[in-house]
Amino acid sequence: MEFITPDNGKSYNRCHFWSNFEIANLNFWRNSSYNAYFNHLDRAGGFFYERWGDAPVHTIAAVMFLKPEQIHFFNDIGYYHIPFTHCPIEDEFRQKCHCSPHDSFDWKDHSCTKRWFKTAGNKLPEHHAKYAG
């Protein structure tokens, strides 16, 4: 929960997974806990009146209902979604991308990627440190 809230759930810090790329087991979206969560949000009217998006809704659900080790950070797939870029850091993956890891949004101060690695108990790989600051 530390990834999405600084005060044990009283507020939301707006951290969420920004990738527009998800691979999920459909059983997760179909389970009773997720359905109760989704129905609660739907009844609150935020999808219609506030334009709540799928990224924060899915992130909050993943953080609440999955273990950190069940969430995978796809560093090896580059993408660009205006205005954000994710560029793989490892040379073996970057050879197929037209980007610079220095331009990657993941390691900018206003990104939550470093926060995810810290709060999920995942150690940031050493070769990421030079980009993560």
Catalytic residue among 22, 50, 69, 90: 22
Cα gap 129→105, rounded to integer Å = 14
d(CA 19, CA 5): 20
Q: What are the E-state strand segments in the chain?
A: 79-81, 84-86
Are residues 23 and 50 in contact, defined by beta-carbon separation less than 8 angstroms? no
22 is catalytic: yes
Residues in contact with 34: Cβ distance below 8 Å, sequence separation at least 6, in sequence order: 28, 61, 65
Active site residues: 22
